[in-house]
Copies of this chain bind each other. A is one copy, B any other.
């Protein structure tokens, strides 16, 4: 037993409570995605390393998990879902009609510095529309974003939007500086602009810019599609890094959640075609899964009552009385009451009650010899601690 019992740095176990929350978010998002006609895609955890290397820049190559497999192939672990999407679009071009609207929710692996609070395994949750540069597809992505955050229960969120083309003629390092506005503030940006040899007024010039015709049209269509106007905010300093986006840029923030943005995306017309050897326009959005869960915890947006979890624990009084408990359990299930039977027939009642308490069952049912004789049960309300003897045939109503 000398084995070091721990997970690797940056890797996490998800015990039931946490796993259930993750599943709730995934289920909610999937439902929205599917309702807009986005379709699921899954790609392997391992790819030929040459597919992945050199696609994300030099820095990123260092973060890729690569190794030589037993067959001598150089392989790499999934680093994002965009390069695999590009491979899929090229490899199955005859089978996938465009526009291809796909969602993908899979873990990715990055050998990040964990001291920055980053994980080395985390779930990516992406929607992308591939094969059209229509403003309508941009507007649809915004609509799916708005619907998704609403469905998750967020009442107050802002979809910040910009058009990459507003930065045309401005040098990259100036854009990077201006993009830091939220992090380092107005004075910080102006100081850094000056240091880099630009006029500090460049910030104000950017801020004074008006949305492009294209952006106006996209926002207009999104409004037609039902997105409330106050959920979309034109933010002329928003850049989200460099060189990636070719048009629309999106970032979602939740004013009451100050850790950071809960997702980002935009139009990127020069990436998905990388393997197909031709330009394939695309627009997409990546939901910040861990931050969304964090924000939902903070804002108490997870439903109090887990509809999937059984509500009643039917205990086992003794090995002799197992069948009597099964009968009560079956009665409850036949009445569509979500019940669970304690899985062991030889445990003390005290232990079973403690289990019910730890597992947060609202109700516990006890079927002892006295109850069997009277065709009754003891129903215990775990919240109040109150318990009463009631007739078995009245039990379903007593719980409902």
Residues of A within 8 A of B (CB): 1, 3-9, 11-16, 19-20, 22-23, 30-31, 34-37, 39-48, 50-51, 62, 65, 67-71, 73, 75, 77, 87-88, 90-92, 95-97, 99, 101-102, 107, 109, 111, 120-121, 129, 132, 134-137, 140, 221, 224-226, 275, 277, 308-310, 316, 322-323, 326-327, 329-330, 338, 340-347, 354-355, 358-359
Contacts and interface: CB of A to CB of B under 8 A. Distances in A.
A102 B16 contact: yes
Max chain B Cβ within 10 angstroms of own Cβ: one of A40, A50, A120, A308: A40
Given A3-B51, A88-B13, A45 B44 contact: no
B31 A134 contact: no
Nearest to A111: B70
Contacts of A45: 11, 45, 77, 107, 109, 121
Contact of A344 (B22, B136, B308): B136
Nearest to A11: B44
Nearest to A316: B136
Contact of A44 (B46, B99, B121, B322): B121
A12 B323 CA distance: 47
A183 B163 CA distance: 65
Nearest to A39: B16
- Copies of this chain assembled into the complex: 2
B309 A34 contact: yes
A52 to B, nearest CB: 10
Contacts of A16: 39-41, 102
B224 A136 contact: no
Max chain B Cβ within 10 angstroms of own Cβ: one of A62, A70, A101: A70
Contact of A41 (B15, B39, B95): B15
A133 B20 CA distance: 27
